[in-house]
A and B are shown apart, each in its own frame.
Chain A
Amino acid sequence: SQQGEEDPQALSIQEGENATMNCSYKTSINNLQWYRQNSGRGLVHLILIRSNEREKHSGRLRVTLDTSKKSSSLLITASRAADTASYFCATDALTGTASKLTFGTGTRLQVTL
Protein backbone atom coordinates (compact mmCIF):
# COMPACT_ATOMS: atom_id res chain seq x y z
CA SER A 1 0.00 0.00 0.00
CA GLN A 2 1.10 3.55 -0.60
CA GLN A 3 2.42 5.38 2.42
CA GLY A 4 1.10 8.73 1.43
CA GLU A 5 -0.48 11.01 -1.03
CA GLU A 6 0.96 13.72 -3.17
CA ASP A 7 -0.70 16.89 -4.12
CA PRO A 8 -1.36 17.96 -6.76
CA GLN A 9 -1.60 14.82 -8.86
CA ALA A 10 -0.65 16.84 -11.91
CA LEU A 11 0.91 20.26 -12.36
CA SER A 12 1.50 22.25 -15.53
CA ILE A 13 3.66 25.37 -15.47
CA GLN A 14 5.72 27.47 -17.84
CA GLU A 15 9.47 27.45 -17.97
CA GLY A 16 10.96 29.80 -15.41
CA GLU A 17 8.13 29.43 -12.94
CA ASN A 18 8.43 27.66 -9.61
CA ALA A 19 6.80 24.30 -8.96
CA THR A 20 5.64 23.17 -5.54
CA MET A 21 4.61 19.62 -4.73
CA ASN A 22 3.31 18.39 -1.41
CA CYS A 23 3.48 14.99 0.21
CA SER A 24 1.65 13.62 3.22
CA TYR A 25 2.47 10.37 4.96
CA LYS A 26 0.94 8.24 7.66
CA THR A 27 3.50 6.79 10.05
CA SER A 28 6.64 7.92 11.85
CA ILE A 29 9.70 8.10 9.65
CA ASN A 30 13.48 8.02 9.80
CA ASN A 31 14.01 9.99 6.62
CA LEU A 32 12.01 11.27 3.70
CA GLN A 33 13.37 11.22 0.18
CA TRP A 34 12.24 12.69 -3.12
CA TYR A 35 12.74 10.86 -6.41
CA ARG A 36 12.14 11.85 -10.03
CA GLN A 37 10.96 9.48 -12.74
CA ASN A 38 11.08 10.33 -16.40
CA SER A 39 8.58 8.53 -18.60
CA GLY A 40 9.60 4.91 -19.13
CA ARG A 41 12.63 5.19 -16.90
CA GLY A 42 13.70 4.22 -13.41
CA LEU A 43 13.69 6.58 -10.47
CA VAL A 44 16.48 9.03 -9.74
CA HIS A 45 17.21 10.16 -6.21
CA LEU A 46 16.94 13.93 -5.73
CA ILE A 47 17.28 14.73 -2.06
CA LEU A 48 16.97 13.22 1.42
CA ILE A 49 15.80 15.03 4.53
CA ARG A 50 16.17 13.49 7.96
CA SER A 51 13.36 13.45 10.47
CA ASN A 52 15.19 15.96 12.69
CA GLU A 53 15.66 18.44 9.85
CA ARG A 54 13.12 21.03 8.79
CA GLU A 55 14.53 22.32 5.52
CA LYS A 56 17.16 21.32 3.02
CA HIS A 57 18.46 22.80 -0.22
CA SER A 58 20.18 21.26 -3.22
CA GLY A 59 20.69 23.43 -6.26
CA ARG A 60 17.25 24.52 -7.49
CA LEU A 61 15.53 22.15 -5.05
CA ARG A 62 14.18 23.07 -1.64
CA VAL A 63 12.58 20.49 0.61
CA THR A 64 10.73 21.12 3.84
CA LEU A 65 9.57 18.60 6.41
CA ASP A 66 6.94 19.02 9.11
CA THR A 67 6.85 15.87 11.20
CA SER A 68 4.03 17.20 13.39
CA LYS A 69 1.80 17.40 10.31
CA LYS A 70 3.42 14.38 8.63
CA SER A 71 4.00 16.38 5.49
CA SER A 72 6.77 17.50 3.17
CA SER A 73 7.04 19.82 0.23
CA LEU A 74 9.38 19.96 -2.74
CA LEU A 75 9.98 23.30 -4.45
CA ILE A 76 11.70 23.46 -7.80
CA THR A 77 12.74 27.00 -8.64
CA ALA A 78 13.21 28.45 -12.11
CA SER A 79 11.81 25.32 -13.74
CA ARG A 80 13.09 24.04 -17.08
CA ALA A 81 11.50 21.85 -19.73
CA ALA A 82 13.90 19.09 -18.64
CA ASP A 83 12.21 19.05 -15.23
CA THR A 84 9.16 17.47 -16.85
CA ALA A 85 8.73 14.17 -15.00
CA SER A 86 6.85 12.47 -12.18
CA TYR A 87 8.02 13.25 -8.68
CA PHE A 88 7.59 10.88 -5.75
CA CYS A 89 8.19 11.25 -2.07
CA ALA A 90 9.30 8.14 -0.21
CA THR A 91 9.55 7.38 3.47
CA ASP A 92 11.73 4.66 4.82
CA ALA A 93 11.53 1.91 7.39
CA LEU A 94 14.53 -0.01 8.57
CA THR A 95 14.71 -3.60 7.38
CA GLY A 96 17.94 -5.36 8.15
CA THR A 97 20.63 -2.78 7.63
CA ALA A 98 18.92 -0.96 4.80
CA SER A 99 15.71 0.97 4.46
CA LYS A 100 12.81 -0.14 2.35
CA LEU A 101 10.99 2.74 0.77
CA THR A 102 7.28 3.43 0.78
CA PHE A 103 6.33 5.76 -2.04
CA GLY A 104 3.54 8.25 -2.46
CA THR A 105 1.27 8.38 -5.47
CA GLY A 106 3.37 10.95 -7.33
CA THR A 107 2.95 14.36 -8.94
CA ARG A 108 3.22 14.57 -12.71
CA LEU A 109 4.93 17.85 -13.59
CA GLN A 110 4.75 19.32 -17.09
CA VAL A 111 6.98 22.29 -17.86
CA THR A 112 6.21 24.02 -21.12
CA LEU A 113 8.30 26.49 -23.08
Chain B
Amino acid sequence: GAGVSQSPRYKVAKRGQDVALRCDPISGHVSLFWYQQALGQGPEFLTYFQNEAQLDKSGLPSDRFFAERPEGSVSTLKIQRTQQEDSAVYLCASTGHHYEQYFGPGTRLTVT
Protein backbone atom coordinates (compact mmCIF):
# COMPACT_ATOMS: atom_id res chain seq x y z
CA GLY B 1 0.00 0.00 0.00
CA ALA B 2 0.97 3.62 -0.39
CA GLY B 3 2.96 5.29 2.32
CA VAL B 4 2.82 8.86 3.52
CA SER B 5 3.25 11.33 0.68
CA GLN B 6 4.13 14.99 0.82
CA SER B 7 4.06 17.74 -1.76
CA PRO B 8 5.84 19.63 -3.01
CA ARG B 9 9.14 17.87 -2.35
CA TYR B 10 11.02 21.13 -2.77
CA LYS B 11 9.83 24.69 -2.35
CA VAL B 12 11.74 27.91 -2.80
CA ALA B 13 10.01 30.99 -1.46
CA LYS B 14 11.04 34.59 -1.29
CA ARG B 15 11.04 36.09 2.15
CA GLY B 16 7.58 37.35 2.96
CA GLN B 17 5.71 34.89 0.75
CA ASP B 18 3.13 32.46 2.08
CA VAL B 19 3.61 28.73 1.50
CA ALA B 20 1.38 25.69 1.88
CA LEU B 21 2.76 22.20 2.39
CA ARG B 22 0.59 19.15 1.89
CA CYS B 23 0.61 15.77 3.60
CA ASP B 24 -1.33 12.67 2.55
CA PRO B 25 -1.18 10.17 5.42
CA ILE B 26 -1.61 6.45 5.19
CA SER B 27 -5.29 5.68 4.64
CA GLY B 28 -7.08 5.02 7.90
CA HIS B 29 -4.39 6.47 10.14
CA VAL B 30 -6.04 8.50 12.85
CA SER B 31 -3.01 10.40 14.10
CA LEU B 32 -0.95 12.84 12.06
CA PHE B 33 2.15 14.73 13.13
CA TRP B 34 4.18 17.55 11.64
CA TYR B 35 7.89 17.95 12.43
CA GLN B 36 10.51 20.51 11.41
CA GLN B 37 14.05 19.34 10.74
CA ALA B 38 16.85 21.87 10.48
CA LEU B 39 20.02 20.92 8.64
CA GLY B 40 22.10 18.48 10.65
CA GLN B 41 19.55 18.22 13.45
CA GLY B 42 16.89 15.79 14.52
CA PRO B 43 13.24 16.50 13.75
CA GLU B 44 11.35 18.73 16.17
CA PHE B 45 7.66 18.36 16.90
CA LEU B 46 5.35 21.04 15.55
CA THR B 47 1.77 19.85 15.89
CA TYR B 48 -0.49 16.79 16.17
CA PHE B 49 -3.94 15.88 14.88
CA GLN B 50 -6.26 13.12 15.94
CA ASN B 51 -8.68 12.86 13.04
CA GLU B 52 -9.64 16.48 12.31
CA ALA B 53 -8.94 17.75 15.82
CA GLN B 54 -5.68 19.55 16.44
CA LEU B 55 -4.87 18.30 19.92
CA ASP B 56 -1.38 19.69 20.36
CA LYS B 57 0.19 22.68 18.64
CA SER B 58 2.76 23.45 21.29
CA GLY B 59 5.66 23.12 18.86
CA LEU B 60 4.55 25.72 16.33
CA PRO B 61 7.29 28.38 16.50
CA SER B 62 5.11 31.40 15.88
CA ASP B 63 1.61 32.49 14.91
CA ARG B 64 2.80 32.55 11.29
CA PHE B 65 2.51 28.76 11.33
CA PHE B 66 -0.91 27.23 10.91
CA ALA B 67 -1.96 23.63 10.28
CA GLU B 68 -5.28 22.07 9.42
CA ARG B 69 -6.80 18.68 8.68
CA PRO B 70 -10.43 19.53 7.94
CA GLU B 71 -11.68 16.08 6.94
CA GLY B 72 -9.40 14.00 9.08
CA SER B 73 -7.19 12.80 6.24
CA VAL B 74 -5.06 15.25 4.20
CA SER B 75 -3.30 17.92 6.20
CA THR B 76 -1.84 21.26 5.18
CA LEU B 77 0.86 23.19 7.01
CA LYS B 78 0.77 26.85 6.10
CA ILE B 79 3.53 29.34 6.82
CA GLN B 80 2.69 32.99 6.37
CA ARG B 81 5.22 35.72 5.65
CA THR B 82 8.11 33.27 5.46
CA GLN B 83 11.43 34.18 7.06
CA GLN B 84 14.88 32.79 6.39
CA GLU B 85 14.84 30.90 9.68
CA ASP B 86 11.87 28.90 8.37
CA SER B 87 14.20 27.14 5.92
CA ALA B 88 14.13 23.48 6.90
CA VAL B 89 12.70 20.11 5.93
CA TYR B 90 9.10 19.69 7.04
CA LEU B 91 8.20 16.10 7.79
CA CYS B 92 4.77 14.60 8.16
CA ALA B 93 4.11 11.31 9.94
CA SER B 94 1.01 9.25 10.56
CA THR B 95 0.23 6.39 12.86
CA GLY B 96 -2.61 4.03 13.55
CA HIS B 97 -2.92 2.60 17.01
CA HIS B 98 0.73 1.89 17.65
CA TYR B 99 3.68 3.97 18.69
CA GLU B 100 5.55 3.50 15.42
CA GLN B 101 5.24 6.54 13.17
CA TYR B 102 5.38 6.37 9.38
CA PHE B 103 7.14 9.33 7.86
CA GLY B 104 6.78 10.96 4.48
CA PRO B 105 9.82 12.05 2.44
CA GLY B 106 9.49 15.63 3.61
CA THR B 107 9.27 19.01 1.92
CA ARG B 108 12.52 20.96 1.77
CA LEU B 109 11.68 24.65 2.13
CA THR B 110 14.27 27.24 1.22
CA VAL B 111 13.48 30.87 1.94
CA THR B 112 15.64 33.33 0.01
List the interface of chain A (C-beta within 8 A of B). 1-2, 30-31, 33, 35, 40-45, 48, 88, 90, 92, 95-106
- Min CB distance, B67 to chain A, in Å? 14
Complex CA–CA separation, A106 to B99 (angstroms):
20
- Min CB distance, B25 to chain A, in Å? 12
Q: Which of A1, A2, A96, A104 is within 8 Å of B56, CB to CB?
A: A96
A sample of 17 inter-chain contacts (CB < 8 A) reads: A2-B41, A31-B99, A43-B101, A43-B103, A45-B100, A90-B42, A95-B48, A95-B55, A96-B31, A96-B55, A98-B30, A98-B50, A98-B95, A100-B56, A103-B43, A103-B44, A104-B42
Complex CA–CA separation, A72 to B18 (angstroms):
41
Complex CA–CA separation, A100 to B95 (angstroms):
11
B104 surroundings in chain A (CB, below 8 A): 42
The main secondary structure of chain A at its interface with chain B is: strand
- Min CB distance, A92 to chain B, in Å? 6
**In this complex, what residue of A is CB-closest to B98?**
A48
Interface size of B by CB at 8 A reads: 27
- Min CB distance, B50 to chain A, in Å? 5
Complex CA–CA separation, A42 to B80 (angstroms):
24
| Cross-chain contact B48 with A45 (CB below 8 angstroms) | no
| Cross-chain contact A92 with B103 (CB below 8 angstroms) | no
A104 surroundings in chain B (CB, below 8 A): 42
Complex CA–CA separation, A99 to B100 (angstroms):
9
Answer yes or no: B65 CB below 8 A from chain A CBs. Answer: no
B40 surroundings in chain A (CB, below 8 A): 106
Complex CA–CA separation, A102 to B43 (angstroms):
8
